[in-house]
Amino acid sequence: MSVEFKKNGNGKCPVMHGSMTEQSTPTHWWPKNLNLDILHQHDTKTNPMNKGFDYRNEVKKLNFKSVKKDLLKLMTDSQEWWPADLGHYGGLFIRMAWHSAGTYRIADGRGGSGTGNHRFAPLNSWPDNTNLDKARRLLWPIKKKYGNRLSWADLMILAGNMAYESMGLKMYGFSFGREDIWHPEKDVYWGSEKEWLQDKRYSNNGERSSLANPLAAVVMGLIYVNPEGVDGKSDPLRTAHDVRETFGRMAMNDVETCALTVGGHSVGRAHGNGDASLLGPEPEAGEIHEQGFGWNKKGGGGLGVNQVTSGIEGAWTTHPNKWDDTYLKLLLDYEWELKKSPAGANQWEPINMKTEDKPRDLADPKIKRNPIMTDADMAMKMDPSYRKISEDFRKDHKYLKESFTKAWFKLTHRDMGPRKYYIGPDSPKEDLIWQDPVPKGNKKFNISKAKKLIEASGLKNSELISTAWDSARTYRRTDCRGGANGARINLLPQKNWEGNEPEKLKKVIKKLEKIANKVNASLSDIIVLAGNVGLEKSIAKAGFKTKVPFSPGRGDATQDQTDIDSFKVLEPLHDAFRNWVKEEYVVTPEEMMLDRASLMNLTAKEMTVLVGGMRVLDTNHGQTKHGVFTNKPGALTNDFFVNLTDMNFVWKPLSKNLYEIVNRKSKKTKFTATRVDLVFGSNSILRAYSEVYAQDDNKEKFVNDFVKVWTKIMNADRRELKRLN
């Protein structure tokens, strides 16, 4: 127990303070230590709900009409503590929904609106999210009323939808089913910057496409781009490059990007009618008496007319509380010049605009004010591609409406997985290609017959296991993409991925397709079943008899149902479980393994079990022998852990990612290994797990644990099944 002193000269007594109550841990002393905490976030201990609580079941009991009615009423129920613009909260709630969903990034599926993470740091305190803490508090009475049947994650997005509906725009649809988390994610990389709005994420700042992966925003603390221009300097054409790059990383094409920009700024307004330097700290930095609010104006005030949010001041359209066609009319018909807001921000204002086209002043409706445009708005006018799309939208407002509502739906639902898991009466019935649709499969085929045909196929156990693994390993929990369902491993682009060993894959698939046809099963089911067959035979070689669970019903997707460009981001550049790295990267193989394990929703124990099992099963990419610490390859033994922890061996590096395992006495090389093999013996936490499985009394436990996590991976993309956690 430590004795802490306050070093501020106030004469306060020391206090016995033995716990680490601030964000600091002993492992911070060794920065290269693996952050295994990312595998253990959102544990049951952090969840306040009762054991067995299932939000997806609870939300189905929600009175959907009543919630929507209450939200519509809230839109115009202005509160004194945070007044609504012109009596309407629509713009505020749209911005909240947008910024909640807009953190999604296609590279790793992280971010997005699916978890309600907008309530927590860093997002609740991002400069770009200034005053969205007020939007969430305005929603509290509705959340309080509907309780467990309505998650914050669902409510924040639904509020944005209802805001548009209250302004006259019929939305494409909405699905419930987002489940709240209870603390900030530990696995999301937001950037290397140490200060807000720093620009440290470009390897070549002159080439804006050099933005580091998987990031989407241009600087720390922004959702997308700087509204004042690149690095705060107005240049609409350069901003257009940033917009295209960042929205592309959010899975949007040019039409969707333009539609979202136009549709997003067709309602609402920006706030910068004051001195931004007078704003207090963000929510996470505020004192207790601030009530969890941030950005409060020092000395009070800062509400309504005098609010400072983005720093930009004004509305984009003539009628900011109404969905209409004035945004493009004003943007394209008038010339614009660069001005400064009262807060000192860069903004564009019109030259010689007609009075009737100007929006009303917030404080005095009799007064008309200039509308404004940001650099991103001007990009829609000056970039040739965006200009063409904007002109098309101007000519056909129905086209804009359809494009925007579908793009908005994609923005707010991209991380929710397949359409079959949508909940609620407003869920669209249309299959959209970005949802990775998969047809239903046949659940009633003869499994026993299929297993016999697989056994007689002449395929090696390692081939069966590795093919099933390659098919399933693409799944990522972040946006529910990938996985074995759909058999997309047999389609472009996956069938040609280097990590899938195309030639071997072609041979295996050819034989499994024939079996699938004979028993009237989907190829995806047969691939998984074949992996199970190979695993059961390998277990038998180890002297145990364990049945591997199998749940039929997977379907086979077609090439037309597969967006090749979208699936490219799922290509494995490494696979620690099959001991393969495509090339040498700045990030170490063990760190990449940790990231992949996190995306696959594995715990550290499960990751350990999988690596140890896959090695002795002889499933290495290219059939290399690195890490195959056994004299009985193909049998599911605990030999990997036995030899890894054996102090009769010494490890000798041959290169950055290759080692010899040498007998101390004889000096003879017994095995070879990579970094992802040896980290399970060198990292103190992972070694603790490895020692468990190396014990003589845990051979059967290892087999059972491997089967359990194998089944979890094979079924990860099937929410209709009760998942093994």
- Provide φ and ψ at 18, rounded to 5°: -95, -5
Give the whole-angstrom CA distance, residue 262 versus residue 615.
Answer: 53
Give the whole-angstrom CA distance, residue 67 versus residue 69.
Answer: 5
Tokens of 689: 């797990």
First-to-final CA distance of the chain: 36
Give the whole-angstrom CA distance, residue 613 versus residue 628.
Answer: 10
Residues 6+ apart with CB under 8 A from 55: 49, 148, 151, 177, 179, 180
C-alpha neighbours within 13 Å on the C-beta side of residue 630: 20
User: CA gyration radius for the chain?
Assistant: 28
Tokens 């002193």, residue? 5
Q: Is the peptide bond before 439 cis (omega within 30 degrees of 0)?
A: no
Helix (H) or strand (E) holding 338: strand 336-340
Collapsing DSSP states into helix, strand and coil, what is residue 69? helix
| Cβ atoms of residues 149 and 58 within 8 Å | yes
Q: Check the CA dihedral 204-207-209-215 and report its sign.
A: positive
Residue closest to 681 by CA, chosen among 637, 707, 704, 647: 647
Alpha helices in 169-279 (DSSP H): 236-248, 254-264
| Cβ atoms of residues 641 and 691 within 8 Å | yes
Residue closest to 88 by CA, chosen among 268, 243, 335: 268
Residue closest to 576 by CA, chosen among 675, 491, 666: 675
- Produce one character per residue of 61-73: b if its CB has 16 or more CB atoms within 10 Å, e if not: ebebeebbebbee
**How deeply is 252 buried, as exposed, middle or buried, from its count of CB atoms within 10 A (0-12, 13-18, 19+)?**
buried
Amino acid at 420: K
**Catalytic: 99?**
yes
Amino acid at 519: V
**Active-site pick, 88, 99, 621, 626:** 99
Give the whole-angstrom CA distance, residue 71 versus residue 88.
Answer: 12
Give the whole-angstrom CA distance, residue 75 versus residue 168.
Answer: 13
**Beta-bridge mates of residue 308:** 272
Three-state SS for 283-337 is HHHCCHHHCCCCCCECCCCCCHHHCECCCCCEECCCCCCCCCCHHHHHHHHCCEE
Strands (E) located in 546-623 = 574-575, 580-581
Three-state SS for 633-661 is CCCCCCHHHHHHCCCCEEEEEEECCEEEE
Task: Using alpha carbons only, give the angle 482, 499, 570 rounded to the nearest 5 degrees.
Answer: 30
Residue closest to 90 by CA, chosen among 255, 317, 291: 317
Task: Using alpha carbons only, give the angle 624, 493, 715 rounded to the nearest 5 degrees.
Answer: 70
Tokens of 31: 């920065």
Tokens 């297993």, residue? 451
Report the catalytic residues.
99
